[in-house]
Structure 1
Amino acid sequence: MAVPNPNRQRITDQVWEIWVRFDALEPTALLGGIYAAKPGYHNYRLALPGGDYSVGDVAADRQGPQDKAAAIDLTMSAAAMRLYTGRLDVAARARDERLYIDGHPIIREFIGTKDNRSVYCYVLVGGRPLGVGADAGPDPGRDATHLWHLHISFIRRFLAHPQLAPRVMSVLSGESLAAWRARTTTTSTTSGGDMQQTDRLANRTGNPNRTVGNVLADVSNLRDWLISRAGTAGMVTPPAAGSPLQLLLAMAQDWAAESNRQRLRDEAILAAVKGLTPQEILARVDLRAAQQIEALHAMRTQIAQELAPLLVTAVGQHLAGQVAPEMLADAQEMAIRRVLGSLDGPAA
């Protein structure tokens, strides 16, 4: 059984997971350290002066947990030092997508050796402040202790990201980029279109239809209740009472019922004005139509102002970190437009 994180006050579970996985991977591995009260990434941001390179050079290092260490030292055999330093170097020089999240590097630097004679350091971002001459590249002159321990500095923004350990360990384990892509890319194709998630789920759901992390709706609930016409038979698990979707559906149904009642009233008005001229009758019909249109616009405004923000918040809270914000916004806009658009149709 893996040893639980011994210092959650200063070490994120994601960084500790890297040690647990590496310990299982490499027989000669020893933990050289994570948190240490000294300058640099081993310390936490609040304990460091603003001029420390681990908090001042890269903007993303001024984000993320401010009370957690951001580096790990892995001690191992000479052969293992060459192996894992080499794997990191190949991935870093190729700008391997596993070492990036949302286009940003998750590692600032790694320091080890590729030949057991000279220390090798590669900086993935923020190289110029260190004198590298470019944003990324080899940085000579690091401490000789790195001949027997591999140091990895993590960008502080990603210290608690659920993909930190899986991505770093994929590279360290020697998994090919193609194999990682095949393993972590899930595509679900239904009659409603394609939904693709490029990162592995944070937690297994046990349901092949689920497309997001811990909870939320599956394909039937989320897509059917947002996209299908209100009242469609065969829905799975109706929206919970009091939820934004349930309120939106109830409002649509109330509007349809009110439209039916209004049509009957209009027919009664026309029957009562038989003595009027055709022009007078048309004028009254136009007035009634204008009143209905005004009421419809008022209903649209009420939905937009009251229900749409609730819907966005409710769905957004569950999808945070799982679906790109622009995809979520597009889906919500399409769903709301379809529901609102159906209100313009003739009453049944």
Structure 2
Amino acid sequence: MSSLIAKVLWPAMEKLEPGSLLGGILADKPGYHNTRDRLRQQGRRWDYSIRWPRDRRGPGDEAAAIDWTFPDAQAGHFGTIARYSKRLRDAGRVEDPRTYAMREFYGNTDRDREVEGWDFVRDKVAHSSDDTHLWHIHISVRRAYVNDRKAIDAIVSILSGESLTDWQRRWDARPRAATAARVLG
């Protein structure tokens, strides 16, 4: 695995929460955990993770999702996972421009026994029937950005609680309308 999801995003997550675990990046199943090339070889040309224009770009041999596992949440203590899930959800709700590289996330934002998520492409709540997201956060990265350092750093910035202004200052970025970026798919 050579993508920045493995080389940059996961190490940053582990640094934020040293006791956390990498739940997985590549998995031979439908969706962003698989590679675009493998999905096509399996005849899954209409898989939702390769429909959008930005998912038809980028490396075809890299997975585009990560699962971040929290052992304390596995034990029923949801404070840690809720902190990071809430940051992701709140960034989606306000159309934070740093969310441009993400497709969706699932996790537990409020310490209950219900999974919450956000669809960053459609700017709305996303639902999952997979209750494993009570103890791990799933983040799908739009395939065009799996090797884009600024895009991966934007995700790390949100997870770390860094302000948008500080992130923009670090990248010398100008504010832009988040909705304009989403219209392009």
Amino acid in structure 1 at the alignment position of 2:138: H
CA distance in 2 between partners of 1:141 and 1:110 (Å): 10
> 1:158 matched to which residue of 2?
145
Shift of 1:119: 0.2
Pick from 7, 25, 40: which aligns with 2:31? 40
**1:180 partner SS:** helix
Q: How many residues align?
A: 162
**What is the TM-score with the length of structure 1 in the denominator?**
0.45
> 1:211 matched to which residue of 2?
none
> 2:48 matched to which residue of 1?
53
CA distance in 1 between partners of 2:170 and 2:57 (Å): 30
Amino acid in structure 1 at the alignment position of 2:88: L
Aligned-residue CA RMSD (Å): 1.4
Amino acid in structure 2 at the alignment position of 1:28: G
Report Cα offsets for 1:246-283 as digits up to 9, x if no partner: xxxxxxxxxxxxxxxxxxxxxxxxxxxxxxxxxxxxxx
> 1:88 matched to which residue of 2?
88
Pick from 106, 115, 120: which aligns with 2:110? 115
Report Cα offsets for 1:287-312 as digits up to 9, x if no partner: xxxxxxxxxxxxxxxxxxxxxxxxxx
CA distance in 2 between partners of 1:141 and 1:43 (Å): 18
Report Cα offsets for 1:303-330 as digits up to 9, x if no partner: xxxxxxxxxxxxxxxxxxxxxxxxxxxx
Report Cα offsets for 1:137-190 as digits up to 9, x if no partner: 0122431010000000000011111212211101000011122223332xxxxx
> 2:133 matched to which residue of 1?
146
CA contact (8 A) 1:112 1:119 kept: yes
Report Cα offsets for 1:181-237 as digits up to 9, x if no partner: 23332xxxxxxxxxxxx28xxxxxxxxxxxxxxxxxxxxxxxxxxxxxxxxxxxxxx
Give the 5 Å matches for 1:124-273.
Answer: 124-125=120-121, 135-185=122-172, 198=173
Structure 1 portions without partners, runs of 5+: 1-6, 100-104, 126-134, 186-197, 200-348
CA contact (8 A) 1:121 1:142 kept: no
Amino acid in structure 2 at the alignment position of 1:149: H
CA distance in 1 between partners of 2:142 and 2:169 (Å): 26
**What is the TM-score with the length of structure 2 in the denominator?**
0.83
CA contact (8 A) 1:41 1:71 kept: yes
- Seq. identity, %: 41
**2:60 counterpart of 1:70:** no
**1:164 partner SS:** helix
141 and 110 in structure 1: CA distance in 2 versus 1, 3 angstrom threshold: closer
CA distance in 2 between partners of 1:138 and 1:110 (Å): 10
> 1:249 matched to which residue of 2?
none
CA contact (8 A) 1:88 1:171 kept: yes
CA contact (8 A) 1:15 1:164 kept: no
Report Cα offsets for 1:19-50 as digits up to 9, x if no partner: 00110111331100000111110000011111
CA distance in 1 between partners of 2:28 and 2:38 (Å): 8
CA distance in 2 between partners of 1:25 and 1:156 (Å): 24
184 and 141 in structure 1: CA distance in 2 versus 1, 3 angstrom threshold: closer
Shift of 1:73: 0.1
Structure 2 portions without partners, runs of 5+: 73-77, 175-185
Instruction: Specify the structure having the higher radius of gyration (Cα).
Output: 1
Shift of 1:136: 2.0
